Amino acid sequence: MTGGIVVAAVAMAGLGMSKTFGQEAEGLVQVGLYRASRNPQIVGGALMVVGVGLLWPSWFALGWVVLYGCIGHMMVVSEEEHLRRVHGEAYERYCERVPRYVGFSSRTKKAVA
């Protein structure tokens, strides 16, 4: 749980320093945790929710984990559509390099002819 709090806080701080809220888009945030995950705030939040579920295991906690996962994923998909419209090819290249959550990129590398 503590790790999730740290990840979410660092992600929010990095996003906040980029001056993205309420302003016109100047470019994609690709620094800090955003080099390893396109959605580090969601990852951090998921770690927190899972941590709470591990501390107080119950069906209620499991429900929160599932609910957070579903709502978080829907938010990410919606945001990705917006970022594709705003940033176009730059966002596509970012998606090829950086995974949606953690691990490997969700896009397969295109074969070089």
Using a 10 angstrom Cβ sphere, with 0-12 exposed, 13-18 middle and 19 or more buried, the burial of residue 42 is: buried
The domain limits of the chain are 2-97
Q: Residues 55-93: pLDDT tens digits?
A: 999 999 999 999 999 999 999 999 999 999 999 999 999
Q: Is the pTM of this model over 0.75?
A: no
* 4-36 burial code (b ≥16 CB/10 A, e <16): beebbeebeebbeebeeeeeeeeebbeeebbee
Question: Rounded to a whole number, what is the distance in angstroms from the first to the last CA of the chain?
Answer: 46
What is the percent of the chain with per-residue pLDDT over 90, rounded to a whole number? Answer: 62
| DSSP structure class, residue 107 | S
User: Measuring CA to CA, which residue among 31, 72, 79, 77 is closest to residue 48?
Assistant: 72
